[in-house]
Amino acid sequence: MTKYILALLLILSGTATNSQIIGESCGTPIPGNQWEIIFSQMINEFRAQQTRTGNSRFVEYTIPVIFHMIHSGQSIGSFPNIQREQIISQITVLNQDFAGTGFNFQTYPANAFIQWAINQSLPTENKDSLGRVKIANINIKFCLAEKDTNGNTLSEPGIERINLNTRGWSNPNIFTTPAALRTYFDGTIKPQSIWNAKKYLNIWISDKNAAVPFTGFSTLPPLSTLPGIAGNGEGTDSTDGIWSYSSAVGSAFIFPGGIYASPNVRGRTITHEAGHYFGLRHIWADGNCLTDYCADTPPAFTSNTGFPVYPLNPGSCSSPSNSPNGEMYMNYMDYSADPAKYMFTYDQAVRMQTAMLNSPLRNTLGTHGLCVAVLGINNESGNIPEGYELKQNYPNPFNPVTKIGFSIPKSTFVKFVIYDALGQEVICLANSEILPGNYEVDFDGEKYPSGIYYYKIETGSFSETKKMILLK
């Protein structure tokens, strides 16, 4: 806990990190001192509430996303007016990454950060069964918005295609500096296209000039509507959300037919920026061995790139020392290559849950019935099945979690519903378009009584129902 205590002392003494340089792959501003002070107070209260109630479980949120796709008249499937399947793959990435089951999470070394956890006296909830710093499930889910701000059903869920020529906008690729690009989006494009920031996570995607070094930026969660405590880069009703370079969107693994800046693109630019959107800081804290205010993330001397190998740079920081485990390059808040990153930590989850609970532009997200997330569904094999299949859940009987597998041979709209023994709907686990693949969905029956349940999958050409038993 030394790192976290030191962080609070630094905040309160006024020695902030504002003067540090923003990394080259991300254009999100560094939060101000006062923002971090207020946020730390909220985090402390969040933890105190967990202690008072004896409940460390996170609230589950489902956030509707709208992608504003900025183009200059290109046909769908031509850069930067990318295909909807590439957008769907990005939503899949977000749901996997925020559930702790993102691409390559199985490669987490068996001895990763065990000594760091011991040295920092991390509590049980921060560690997994091996004593490692835990890959956390944030309990934040994402879904493509099914309705627009007027309640109309979208022909392409979660997508608004905007021809900049019809709006009289300049092409974002003419701006040659990071400041100019951000200023134009915040001053012109965002205010004229944003959907209600209290209902939707707005993500703008577009082309950019090669001189602009980053591939994404985000606004920070505003922490109050009161004047005088705003930090640097907080979202407003007219600017809140994420921007990403179009060819950094989606996953070349999940949807190989997309347009990507590199074969290594796995959608982690938006995962990274979503971390900022929920209040996370860079893993190296935009300086040499500074703090990101999370006790379970070792300090790093600077950002990392490429494909590092564990342990990376042990001893690169000394106060506190990150020896012998080194730097957490596999954290989404670093700049390592997309396939090399696959984790958030428990303390990062606490920050994000705190932002969702307290920020006036976060705490009503997902409460308006604008979509249903594909909850806990993962497709890791990359293989395309020959036909539809619904598998028997396992374990069965179960208490309280069971896994259900199914196969989809082509892109199609999928509805996946759990029913009780009377045929009444218990929960809808999926109600959206899904790309072809072999999938597995988790059903958590903790809040439901023992008994017989049925799960049913429906597509345009396939329907099947199976029985399962919850036994407590």
Mean pLDDT score across all residues of the chain: 90
Q: What is the mean pLDDT of the segment spanning 398-407?
A: 92
Residue 300 forms beta bridges with which residues? none
pTM attached to this predicted model: 0.85
pLDDT tens for 89-122 read 999 899 989 989 889 999 999 999 999 999 999 9
Q: Which residue has the higher pLDDT, 32 or 462?
A: 462
Q: What is the mean pLDDT of the segment spanning 205-229?
A: 85
Highest mean pLDDT among 231-235, 383-387, 403-407: 403-407
pLDDT tens for 234-289 read 999 999 999 999 999 999 988 899 999 999 999 999 999 999 999 999 999 999 99
Q: At 80, which amino acid appears? A: P
Q: What is the mean pLDDT of the segment spanning 382-397?
A: 89
Task: Give me the pLDDT at residue 430, please.
Answer: 82
Strands 412-420 and 425-434: what pairing? antiparallel
